[in-house]
Amino acid sequence: MSLIQNLIRRLLLMIPMAIGITLLLFVVTHIVPVNPLAVILTERSMDDPEAIHAATEKWGLDEPLPVQYLVYLKNLLQGDLGTSFKTKNPVASDLKDFLPATIELSICSFIFAILLGLPLGIISGYKSGSFVDQVTRIISLLGASMPPFWSGLLVLFVFYYKLGWAPGPGRINPRIGAPESVTGLFVFDSLLKGNMPAFWDSLHHLVLPSIILGWFTLALISRITRSSMLEVLSQDYIRTARAKGLAEKLVILKHALRNALIPLVTLVGLAFAGLMSGAIMTETIFSWPGIGRYAVESAANLDYPAITGTTLLIAIIYMLVNIFVDMLYTIIDPRIREG
């Protein structure tokens, strides 16, 4: 089967999955008997008979549950995720506002995790048992065992409160103000507009949350690289490469590393799930206005439309990431493509 055919098949298979996901979310939000109007309307419009009538009509609330689900699905297809009762905005537009902050933070933490995790993994695989290997082991153990909401507070305490090296929570110093929005990524936007103070300040604000969020991914990357490196180095073709007198550097970089990196690709899906779970905690601690914090706040305020909207968005992105990973894997590893 060709790559394109496979991709189309996977994307088509997403449709029943997406319907299943909406059904699950609908069931979850309807098991508890609350007055749905209280969920949809703001407090003030609860006294307004006209608003009640309009909402009942729009969401089909006088219909039986299966019909209500179909109405929900129909609204969803038109991009209507309902209205958040905390922010009073349509959930879809809220998500559009909050998503860039999460994307910016995720990209930075991923860069941090790869820049540090890859070399650490390679060295500890090449020299297993060495000092670097031990340190890497401790770093990755901590990454998997520390609650991010605590490690976040810890680094804020040390680098913001005690040493004053890093800025406090938030995305940018309010006195500098957010750069004019193009993509919503502050670092990118401020660079685009030549707003250097905003560029440096938003970059500065990114450092601590990126480290905390990236730590889990770092642990994942360094461990997989290490074990993959160990396995590849014991292969016959490595011995052959050495036997024919190739420089050790070339053996490692050209023969071992290229093959050792293949399993890393499968990790991206797992890393994404980790990033999303971590973003929920990290964004809360660093007052980062992204969808993780939006999800937490809507959960704490029992803001159902916002919760279901955010959860749905994350699940859809997660599915797309997994398809992308599978495709990438087929492209990189010819054994799968031709096998």
Partner 1 sequence: MTVTVAEALPKTVDSPIRRSLRSLRRNPMAMLGLVIIVFWAVAAIIAPFTPMRDPLSQTINDRLQSPSAQYWFGTDELGRDVFSRVIYGARISLPIGFVVILFAVMMGVLVGASAGYIGGTYDLLIMRLADITLAFPSIVLALAIAAVLGPSITNALIAMVLVWWPEYARLMRSQVLSVKNNEYVTAAVALGASRGRILMTHILPNTFAPVLVKASLDAGSAILNIAALSFIGLGAVPPTPEWGAMISTGRYQFYSWWLTTFPGLAILMVVLGYNFLGEGVRDSFDPRMT
The footprint of partner 1 (CB under 8 A) covers: 17, 20-21, 23-25, 28-29, 31-32, 141-142, 144-147, 149-151, 153-154, 156-157, 160-161, 169, 227, 272-274, 276-277, 280-281, 284-285, 295-296, 298-300, 302, 304, 307-308, 310-311, 314-315, 318-319
Q: Which is nearer to partner 1, 165 or 200 (CB)?
A: 165
Give the shortest CB-189-to-partner 1 separation in angstroms. Answer: 28
Rounded Cα distance between 212 and 288, Å, is 13
3 state SS of 26: helix
Q: How far is the CB of 176 from partner 1 (least distance, A)?
A: 22
Question: Is residue 132 within 8 Å of 124, Cβ to Cβ?
Answer: yes
CA dihedral 199, 203, 206, 210 (to 10 degrees): 130
Nearer to partner 1, 203 or 277 (CB): 277
Q: C-beta of 66: minimal distance to partner 1 in Å?
A: 18
Q: Cβ of residue 86: shortest distance to partner 1, in angstroms? A: 13
Give the separation between CA 327 and CA 311, rounded to whole angstroms. Answer: 25
Nearest to 218 by CA among 108, 126, 316: 108
Nearest by Cα to 283 from 145, 140, 148:
148
CB of 336 to partner 1, least distance (A): 20
Query: Would you say 252 or 313 has its CB closer to partner 1?
Result: 313
Comparison of 209 and 274: residue with beta carbon closer to partner 1: 274
Q: Looking at beta carbons only, is 179 or 278 nearer to partner 1?
A: 278
Residue 31 has φ and ψ, to the nearest 5°, of -70, -30
Nearest to partner 1 of 190, 308 (CB atom): 308
As beta bridge partners, residue 90 has 83
Q: What is the SS3 assignment for 44?
A: helix
Q: How far is the CB of 320 from partner 1 (least distance, A)?
A: 11
